């Protein structure tokens, strides 16, 4: 792995563990095993490096989600697959968790990939819901945008509940609840 890659990966890990404000350039350098000169050779500073790390995390999150959203199966099966995929629940969402960092959210450049990723997720889920609705799998009265926003809110809230309880049980319960609500709007033929 190149020096720049080690810096990006170290920053990704530290942002997930500590958040932006608590991630110092020195901690990044130590985790990456590089000196200050190497860091500033590749990146203009902490914000530039953080942007590269957040963007990489966002790209990976989108790719994983898209693999499930575009897989074969019904709309409900694909949404279920996305919601039930393996996650490090007690660590929280590597993108959603960043919204709790006031320094990061105050910086429009750093906030952009977080905001874009969550908007993409809502949009992509809305497309899958609309597809299911269009073929009669889901109730025609189901609003795709509102449903997508609800799914994302439950997922992110599930992380918060799990971390607060130091248990994955509240996360699993939240996901089971939203899947139950979605199943209630599945056509009789698909039940």
The predicted-structure confidence for 47-101, as pLDDT tens digits, reads as follows: 999 999 999 999 999 999 999 999 999 999 999 999 999 999 999 999 999 999 9
Alpha-carbon torsion (33, 35, 37, 43), positive or negative? positive
Average pLDDT of every residue of the chain: 94
Instruction: Name the CATH code of domain 55-190 (choices 1.10.357.10, 3.20.20.70, 3.20.190.10, 1.10.150.170).
Output: 1.10.357.10
**Two tokens at 184?**
């209630």
Q: Find the angle CA(121)-CA(126)-CA(128) to the nearest 5 degrees.
A: 100
Among 152, 157, 191, CA closest to 173:
157
Q: What whole-number distance in Å separates Cα of residue 31 and Cα of residue 13? A: 9
Token pair 């908007």 in the structure block, residue: 119
Most distant CA atoms of the chain, gap in Å: 64
Q: Which pTM value belongs to this model?
A: 0.91
């Amino acid at each position: 792995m190149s020096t720049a890659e080690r810096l990006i990966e170290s920053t990704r890990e530290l942002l997930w563990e500590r958040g932006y404000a608590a991630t110092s350039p020195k901690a990044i350098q130590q985790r990456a095993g590089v000196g200050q000169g190497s860091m500033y050779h590749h990146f203009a500073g902490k914000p530039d490096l953080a942007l590269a790390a957040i963007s990489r995390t966002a790209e990976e999150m989108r790719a994983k989600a898209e693999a499930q959203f575009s897989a074969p199966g019904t709309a409900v099966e694909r949404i279920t697959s996305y919601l039930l995929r393996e996650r490090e629940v007690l660590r929280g969402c590597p993108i959603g968790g960043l919204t709790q960092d006031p320094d990061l959210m105050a910086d429009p450049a750093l906030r952009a990939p977080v905001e874009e990723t969550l908007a993409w997720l809502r949009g992509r889920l809305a497309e899958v819901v609309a597809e299911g609705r269009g073929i009669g799998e889901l109730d025609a009265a189901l609003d795709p945008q509102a449903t997508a926003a609800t799914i994302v809110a439950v997922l992110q809230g599930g992380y918060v509940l799990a971390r607060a309880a130091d248990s994955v049980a509240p996360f699993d319960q939240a996901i089971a609840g939203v899947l139950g609500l979605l199943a209630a709007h599945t056509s009789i033929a698909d039940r």
